[in-house]
Amino acid sequence: MHPSNFTAGIWQVPHAYCTFKIRFFFLSCMYTVVDIETTGTGATGNRITEIALFRVEGERITDSFSSLVNPGCEIPPFITGLTGITTAMVRQAPPFEALADQIEAFTQGQVFVAHSVNFDYPIVKKEFERCGRTFSRKKLCTVRLSRSVFPGLRSYSLGKLCNSLDIPLTDRHRAAGDAKATALLLSRILAQPEGQTAVQGFLNARSQEATLPPHLPRETYERIPHAPGVYYFRDKAGRILYIGKAIDLKKRVLGHFYDASARERSLCRETAAIDFELSGSDLVALLMESAAIKTHFPPFNRAQKAIRPAYGLFSYPDQAGIRHLALNRLRKGQQAHKVFFSLADARAQLESVCTRFSLCAKYCHLQEGVEHCGHFRVPRCQGICRGEESVTQYNARVDLALDSLRDTGSHLLIAEQGRSPGEQAIVWMEGGQYRGYGFLPEDTGITHPEELEAWIQPQRHNPETQRILESYLSKHSKNVRRVAPLAP
């Protein structure tokens, strides 16, 4: 060998030889292209009604298998309208359990390929789990591969992709027809010089390509930062599908892609873009998320669309004239001294009030069935439960405690971390009502609420924002300060 090909005892493999080896490896690698038809999500789950497998070796289809599958339940009419598969057609078909050995053997040691693999693969895997078996294969998505190898096409749905590339597609929405077209598509991809590089990258365990939604460009995911904020999943037309918040945006978004639930898979299949806004802190992210959900009402968001108050703080005198404070579920038409949206937050606030005003844990119903108070988080009272304090004195402190909860007319500023160094986030409350949030330089001194107008983005107060802020105030009082309006 020429000395230039030998350095420090290590063979230097010529570039052309490496290229040949890579090409040989991916052409010799075997793939199983899979397509399934299902019952759609329902009470019994997404069950397979038909499955087709095509083996691709190099750039050729070498074997195939297909069968109807008895799902053990009725097929909904809208699924029959789409696929043509009726309940009568599958009644005598074998259940998946009877086909499991054949499917496992057919795919053994091969790469599981599908057009939108994150739909087909979890359903097949779940069917194996129902049989008490495990199923694990490497995955490839021909949607994502096609976007990489054939960029710039108007659509990457199987039908339009086959039309653009002149690939025959028959028996649309039947497993064998769609699987064969996908197998031909894979062969076309493998035949492209850049196709082998794309497959190599996608099969790299660290690439996460098989995890990303089929229509989401990788560069879109890559630009999401590890920072607090709000994210927006959008479809191809730009419509918002889902809004969420996170302390770590990138980690949380990736969590959606790993979630195997039918709802998450449906969300990911429709996702074509992800936008985000930085918040600097979890509190501001929660407030931004709440406002965005109530503005856009995304179809995949369930929480925060209609939240009602849950608990109220009430007061009443007993036969001895001692005023009690008690928490109870709030019913329509009731007037409470304060409303809470979490029982844990309500109890924490009541414990704080008892401590600040030396109230009795027994008469605040933090302890039941005791003769004298002795709560482990609330100091002993000044003696009302032991007959050492007058009812008048005790009730006066109860009135002071209730006045402090009303807090009408006061302005509260919550200071939180900003989106970048040197910036702080401010949340403004007036009279217990949420007014808005903003970002300003850390060295900006705010001494009066009138100075906030230039910095604050006005927001609406609603039960959800009240719940968020009440919970925060009960745990992070050190971040809160009061400011007084300018004198008239």
Active site residues: 173
How many CB atoms are closer than 10 A to CB 214?
Answer: 24
Q: Which strands make up the sheet holding 338-340, listed edge to edge?
A: 323-329, 311-317, 338-340
Residue 68, H or E segment = strand 60-68
Q: Across 356-469, where does the E strand assignment appear?
A: 411-417, 423-430, 433-441, 456-458
Inter-CA distances, 56 with 112, 147, 152, 204, 335, Å: 11, 20, 26, 20, 70
Closest CA to 438 of 228, 288, 304, 291: 288
Question: Between the CA atoms of 443, 445, 450 and 455, what dihedral angle is there, to the nearest 10 degrees?
Answer: 10
Q: How far apart are CA 170 and CA 386, in angstroms?
A: 87
Q: Which letter does DSSP use for residue 223 in this model? A: T
| The two structure tokens encoding residue 191 | 């035949």
Query: Are the beta carbons of 287 and 465 closer than 8 angstroms?
Result: yes
Q: How many helices (H) and strands (E) does the chain have?
A: 16, 18
Task: List C-alpha distances in Å: 155 to 98, 150, 164, 190, 307.
Answer: 37, 11, 9, 20, 39
Contact 307, 467 (CB under 8 A): yes
d(CA 105, CA 99): 10
List the structure tokens of 292: 């965005």
